[in-house]
Every structure is written in structure tokens, then in C-alpha cells.
Amino acid sequence: MPVSCDVMSGAIIYPACRQDCDFAVLFIEVSDCLPMCGVGTIGLVTSALEAGLVTPQVPGQLSIETPTGSISATPAKVTSVKMLSVASYLHAQDVVVDVEGLGRLSADIAYGGNYYAVVEPQATWAGLDGMPTKRIVELSQSLRSALAQLPEPVHPEDSRIRGVHHGIWCDQLPTPDIDGRCAVFYGDQAIEPAVTGWAKGIVHNTIFVDDNDPLAHGLLI
């Protein structure tokens, strides 16, 4: 298990059970195993290709088996990975909870490999400006505790995937040249880039990260 810091994560490669997949993967982090990890897939595909650990059955197309199902990654080059994730959907909209230290808050619950609570600026939460990381972590923990009092979401095709363990705090864009601005919370006190939460939208299950792609440089934490 990764042990150096709270945001450390890893991936264990296994032989695939599905014939249409090149290999299987189990994503791990300091607190638990994950059904799916977007940024982990990007790192896994890059390192597996560079190290020669896998050979795609179809040249230029990797099919990977995860606990949530099959995902595909199309590496045009090692410096870029295009990824088609599992089917994602909006589970519930405008879920209202009382969050300790903040008050009444409305959030959307969406699935994109994990269940996420997506929070937009509103009367009780103005946005990320001026908020230290410690405060975001505290509010995220309180939000998750509040959501745990409600009926938990359960994946319609796999009842083992359930519960909201991740949060995405979205914000208004500070300048027109920025594509997205949000902080993603998971684990006990980890904050990661928006790519973890599928670049904020979740309903879009394809993301692309490339050195020449302005989106890669337009995500703010």
C-alpha cells in the first residue's frame, strides 16, 4: 500500500478475467481500494506502456478490466492518454443536507466510477476563494457525514458499489481562459485535481489530458 502521504495512490495489475480486456487492475489508496480511478488510469497506462508491462491485443487500444467494468484507453503517445470510462449518470439532484460548520447545503450526487457529491456556489458557500485546504477538508468531512445519514446510492448493476465517499467543490471561473475550477476530496483528508472527479462534469465519461491541451493547464485547485 502507498504510505508516503494521504494523496498517494497505486495500481496492482492482474491477468484479466474478461477475454476482451488486456489486463485487470485494482486501484489502491491509503484508506481503501477504489472501484475506479481516473487519474490512476492515466498514470497506469503511461507507465505500463513505457515499461513494456502490457501489449494491447489491438494496437493503440488498451482495454482494462476494473471493479466497475471495462474501460478503454487510447494512447496516441505516451505523453497523452484518451480514456473512455464506465457509464456515468446523475443519481440525485439538489440533495439538501445540514453540514456542520456551514449550514444547509445543496449537492448533486453523481456516479463516474465512484459516487461524488458535487457542490456549486450557493447562499451558504460562496466558493473556493480564500479557503485554505484545511477548511475544505473539514467541510468535506462534514458533508460526507451528513450524506451518510441519508439512504446511500447503490449502483444499479453492482450492489457492492455504494455510498458517497468523494466530494467535488466547484467554483466560478476566475478568467475566460480557464475551463474548470474545483477541488476534489476523498479518503480522510485528501484533496486532488478536478481530473479525479472526471473534470467536474461526471456526465461526460471521456477525458483527455495532454501537454498541448489547454484543459490540462486550465484546472485550478
Residues labelled catalytic: 37
Is 146 in a helix, a strand, or coil?
A: helix
Phi, psi (5° rounding) for residue 176?
A: -65, -20
| Residue 114 grid cell | 465512484
Q: How far apart are CA 14 and CA 8, in angstroms?
A: 20
Q: DSSP states of 2-55 as a string?
A: --S-TT-EEEEEE--SSTT-SEEEEEEESS-EES--HHHHHHHHHHHHHTT---
CA distances from 109 to 14, 48, 104 (A): 31, 33, 16
